[in-house]
Amino acid sequence: MISEYNIREPYRRGRIEVICGSMFSGKTEELIRRLKRAKFAKQNVEIFKPAIDTRYSCDNVVSHDSNSIPSTPIDSSASLILLSSEIDVVGIDEAQFFDDGIIEVCNQLANSGIRVIVAGLDMDFKGRPFGPMPGLCAIADDVTKVHAICVRCGNLAYVSHRTVDDEKQVLLGEKMEYEPLCRECYNKSNNEQTKV
């Protein structure tokens, strides 16, 4: 005879996976791929994105190649905890735009058995660490750095170079505002701009 005390729920192993790199490197594409695999495996999946990112859609996470997956836009990392009950996998896109509280939130989710997959820019247009991404990389169980191709020489891109004159750290944009450059081409471009 099986008692109710002998029936155990399957053990859920929480973890944090970070996908980082420059713009046009396939971060969101990889996030969508992992989330769709989890859905195919009949796992409960919830995807979140910052409410400020409305470039392609207000309600979907959309890659530069137009692949998309439904998401929930949120204004702060605290909302993740409230909206993540009964979820097996949480996806977070454009994590660099969230507040630093997202680091602790991701830790809490993973510690409660949830697989957390985070995608975001690791550096801003000046090549500086961007928002909470360094902290997320530090606490991650796995970090995948993806690379775009430098549009000037064809080497692996290092940074998202801003092509418009605007010094704000956060400037939502696409190919008209940014280009992926390798370290050498990025440094050359900065030296040329300094001389002008």
Q: Is the pLDDT of residue 2 over 80?
A: no
Q: Which residues of 134-143 are buried (b: 16+ CB within 10 A; e: fewer)?
A: ebbbeebeee
- pLDDT per position as a tens digit, 85-106: 789 999 999 999 999 999 999 9
3-state secondary structure of 30: helix
Q: What is the mean pLDDT of the chain?
A: 83
Closest listed residue to residue 121, CA positions, set 90, 164, 85, 161: 161
CB 77 within 8 A of CB 51: no
Is residue 94 part of the annotated active site? The answer reads yes
Closest by Cα among 146, 159, 163 to 185? 159
Query: What is the pLDDT, as a whole number, of residue 1?
Result: 44
Give this prediction's pTM. 0.83
- Per the CB < 8 A criterion, the answer to whether 151 and 132 are in contact is no
Q: Are 112 and 82 in contact (CB under 8 A)?
A: no
Distance, in Å, from the CA atom of 84 to the CA atom of 97, rounded to the nearest integer, reads 19
List the catalytic residue out of 4, 94, 104, 167: 94
pLDDT of amino acid 109: 96
Among 3.40.630.30, 3.30.428.10, 3.10.180.10, 3.40.50.300, name the CATH number for the domain at 15-147.
Answer: 3.40.50.300
Report whether pLDDT(66) > 70: no
